Structure 1
Amino acid sequence: MRNDLVVQAAQRSQSVIALAQELIRHPSRGGIDDYSPVLAVLEKWLSERGLPHRRLHDEQGQLVGLLVEIAGARPGSWWTLDACVDTASFGDESAWTFSPTAGDVVEGWLRGRGSADSKLAAAAFVHIAADLQARADTLSGGLAVLLDVDEHTGTFGGARAYLADPDAARPAGVLIGYPGMEDVVVGGRGLWRATVTVYAPSGHSGSSRTVLGAVSRAARLVQLLDSADLPGVPQQGAGFPLAPKLSVTAIHGGQGFSLSPDRCELNVDVRTTPAFDGEDAATVVRKAVDELDAELPGPLPTRVEEIACWPPFRLEEHEQPAAALLDAAASIGISVRAKTAGPSNIGNLLAGAGPGGIPATAGFGVPYTGLHGTDERAHLAELPQVYAVYHQAVLNLLSAD
């Protein structure tokens, strides 16, 4: 990496931090806050610098993100930097030792909800877009910066609107700015989710007649699901490095004490792998359901309603855009490993986007603590290095055609 990029990154840091601070001070909790104020901060910043941008809306016309587009002078592939600017909820605010919207810097840490995930990355990415606009005549293809909201709801409204936008070039790959400096996340398990509804005769809990309520039937189903046979962890180096996982994450049924309820709903979350996909997950869950209905028959068959199914994804280290990010990190002496993550992320959505999917990395950023928890903070000493890595990676990609 050229020394001038490293120096430029250091010079950019204070401006990046200042923008991130302002974003943190505008709460944008997914599904709770209005996203317009936080996106207005970014619109103002982009407009003042003459960066081309436009709003993204979902099918209902709701504002779900901003898209910045820097076109190169020569034909080539488009690549995307993506950072969400909505956040997790604050949780128990009394447990925080500072305000979730503090947006201040204390002992080298940027503090507040969104500092780690991912307002600092959003601030860095728009600065990189500004850097590249100044040299667009030397670039092939183009750079898009997706500043999406509706991410923490799990709906991924901004990313979906981007992919559905007929005026946006389909990206050859996406680099997602999740935090963490030890790894470049090149893959993640997929997911299969369903709501399972268990039925039973209703009755008074004090009745002399024995009534097995829906909650009791649901409890038995949880036992069957928890003991379901899933493939184990693969041997070291044998393909996808993680095993599938099944979890019952919610149970809803009944009210008060006197009534034995006639229905109970379970949320079932299965994390999938290439060797155990959504169809396999559905088979395991339906097998447990069939066992329940045979063992403890109800008035209606237990119903399984699929809610979501995303494929797993994994890039090899030589595939783009993973290679560009790993090479850029190595060029300034940062030792990082390619990692396949357990949780799912926007990379899974991209993997299922049309023929062949869209390859993505889903994490490389500054060190952090408290992500989605109390006292969220992002460490700033490493910001110049992270900025320089992304800047160099994008330059490499836009010079490759």
Structure 2
Amino acid sequence: MNPYDHGVAERQRVASVVELAQELVRLPSRGGTDAYQPVLNCVESWLSDRALPHRRLYDANAGLVGLLVEVAGGRPGPWWALDACLDTAPFGDEEAWTFSPTAGDVVDDWLRGRGAADSKLAAATFCHIAEDLHRISDRLSGGLSVLLDVDEHTGQFGGALAYLADPHTPRASGVMIGYPGFEEIVVGGRGLWRATLTVHAPAGHSGSSKSVIGAISRAARLVEALDQAQLPGPGSSFPLPAKISVTAISGGSGFSVTPDRVDLNVDVRLTPDFDEAAAAALVSNAVKCVDAEMPGPAPTDVTVVATWPPFQLTPKDEPAAAMLRAAETLGMSLATKTAGPSNIGNLLSAHGVAATAGFGVPYEGLHGTDERARLTELPSVYALYRRTLLDLLEAAPPA
């Protein structure tokens, strides 16, 4: 296969990508549930057979969190990275699936099973692209890292954090994340601010003649106040509005006791016009108002769990610009998009690393029932990423 051919990838190459992806889908790797050794062993065996340099990544507690492939060019220059996760979302209700979550088969040009879309097909694609570039590494400037995370769906993003913290890893000038979706290149995402609110109240018997305002009633009033909060809409440079959601409520037991504690999980989506400080202030003000309106034995506690800033690349920022140039070269018409959900792109941006957060094949059932990824567009996806990297790595023509 000529790595300088920017047409549709040869059938044999695409078939090899699908074959590896099928093997990966057949190995369950649900985040926080399954052992990751089998899926990592599968990829490592494939890489070793092709003499591709790779090593495992561990977190501070010596936990296995990912695999890193590194292809160094023969000339100095910036490094770039591809990222895809090998762990997956849970299966959910397996009885609701019309095929096995670990089917790994291809039916009517769809790869079926958990992880087919997010993101084992991308992982297989990126491994093959690394092999392409390794064959011509002496003609490349800088280098390519391929990060395969197995701590993504836990929400801990251990692989990405280990990659960023590793002193032996060249810092990438930009990262392209292999989330699926074919019509657009995702160049941004809303940030997040998450906190647990602990509401206090006197405990009491539900049948007592003494009236007690329980923690559930106080928590319900707080939920109402948060739902009614006014947040800014889209701005001139950021197309999405800020958003606040109460995502979990816990507390109470049985019927005869009014509880003295209820915990609320609050998720706020951030924009450049509504940042971390604004989110904290909004929640704090709502808490103070409810505490004053319905006093309890102690103020409501606000415990911040996580915060990420929003991020957004312009079409002129790398690596988004290189992806758009590649699309034009290949005759593909692609738009850019800022996504509502947060992702590893937010984490990378917070560490000063530019990222795109999605371009891949069309999909259905991501994180849901009957997950599958369409293979019809895979040759075009493969060609675009390969062409992008040849551009970024300033590949010299053959002598």
> Would the TM-score normalized by the shorter structure come out above 0.5?
yes
Distance 1:110 1:330 in 2: 28
Displacement of 1:7 in angstroms is 4.8
* Counterpart residue number, 2:295: 297
Contact 1:9 1:385 in 2 (8 A): no
Query: Is the partner of 2:24 in helix, strand or coil?
Result: helix
Distance 1:225 1:77 in 2: 46
Distance 1:372 1:71 in 2: 35
Displacement of 1:69 in angstroms is 0.2
Distance 1:49 1:172 in 2: 26
Distance 2:55 2:123 in 1: 16
* Counterpart residue number, 2:381: 386
Query: Is the partner of 2:323 in helix, strand or coil?
Result: helix
* Counterpart residue number, 2:201: 200
Aligned counterpart for 1:273 among listed residues 271, 274, 277? 271
* Counterpart residue number, 2:58: 57
Distance 1:3 1:195 in 2: 52
Which stretches of structure 1, 4 residues or longer, exceed 2 Å deviation after superposition? 1-11
Pairs within 5 Å for 1:168-247: 168-234=169-235, 238-247=236-245
Report the AA paired with residue 359 of structure 1: A
Contact 1:51 1:68 in 2 (8 A): yes
Distance 1:10 1:178 in 2: 23
Distance 2:11 2:287 in 1: 58
Report the AA paired with residue 259 of structure 1: V
Query: Are 1:346 and 2:344 matched, yes or no?
Result: yes
Contact 1:182 1:336 in 2 (8 A): yes
Displacement of 1:229 in angstroms is 1.4
When normalised by structure 1's length, the TM-score is 0.97
Structure 1 residues 23, 263: closer, same or farther in 2, change over 3 A?
Answer: same
Greater mean deviation of Cα atoms: 330-339 or 19-28: 330-339
Distance 2:38 2:6 in 1: 32
Query: Is the partner of 2:284 in helix, strand or coil?
Result: helix
* Counterpart residue number, 1:107: 108
* Counterpart residue number, 1:377: 372
When normalised by structure 2's length, the TM-score is 0.97
Displacement of 1:341 in angstroms is 0.3
* Counterpart residue number, 2:307: 309
Deviations 1:253-304 (A, max 9, x none): 1011111100000000000011110110000000000001100000001000
Aligned residue pairs total 395
Deviations 1:331-382 (A, max 9, x none): 21221110000000000000111xxx10000000001111011000100011
Distance 1:167 1:311 in 2: 27
Distance 2:259 2:240 in 1: 39
Greater mean deviation of Cα atoms: 326-335 or 36-45: 326-335
Distance 1:6 1:258 in 2: 70
Pairs within 5 Å for 1:61-210: 61-210=62-211
Distance 2:68 2:334 in 1: 29
Distance 2:105 2:213 in 1: 56
Contact 1:104 1:110 in 2 (8 A): yes
Distance 2:357 2:234 in 1: 22
Displacement of 1:164 in angstroms is 0.6
Report the AA paired with residue 373 of structure 1: G
Displacement of 1:70 in angstroms is 0.2
Aligned counterpart for 2:353 among listed residues 354, 358, 366? 358
Distance 2:395 2:171 in 1: 17
Greater mean deviation of Cα atoms: 329-338 or 255-264: 329-338
Distance 1:184 1:262 in 2: 48
Distance 1:400 1:195 in 2: 50
Distance 2:194 2:100 in 1: 35
Query: Is the partner of 2:172 in helix, strand or coil?
Result: coil
Distance 2:132 2:150 in 1: 24
Query: Is the partner of 1:172 in helix, strand or coil?
Result: strand
Identity of aligned pairs, percent? 66
* Counterpart residue number, 1:367: 362
Query: Is the partner of 2:123 in helix, strand or coil?
Result: helix
Structure 1 residues 43, 400: closer, same or farther in 2, change over 3 A?
Answer: closer
Contact 1:28 1:38 in 2 (8 A): yes
Query: Is the partner of 1:153 in helix, strand or coil?
Result: coil
Displacement of 1:3 in angstroms is 7.6
Contact 2:140 2:395 in 1 (8 A): no
Report the AA paired with residue 230 of structure 1: L
* Counterpart residue number, 1:283: 281
Displacement of 1:9 in angstroms is 4.6
Distance 2:383 2:33 in 1: 34
Displacement of 1:329 in angstroms is 1.5
Contact 2:189 2:346 in 1 (8 A): yes
Displacement of 1:4 in angstroms is 2.4
* Counterpart residue number, 1:17: 18
Displacement of 1:180 in angstroms is 0.5
Distance 2:150 2:306 in 1: 19
Contact 2:3 2:132 in 1 (8 A): no
Distance 1:36 1:352 in 2: 30
Report the AA paired with residue 306 of structure 2: A
Report the AA paired with residue 67 of structure 1: L
Structure 1 residues 2, 77: closer, same or farther in 2, change over 3 A?
Answer: closer
**Unpaired runs of at least 5, structure 2:** none
Query: Is the partner of 2:224 in helix, strand or coil?
Result: helix
Distance 1:131 1:9 in 2: 13
Report the AA paired with residue 104 of structure 1: D
RMSD: 1.3
Distance 1:358 1:53 in 2: 22
Query: Is the partner of 1:42 in helix, strand or coil?
Result: helix
* Counterpart residue number, 2:255: 257
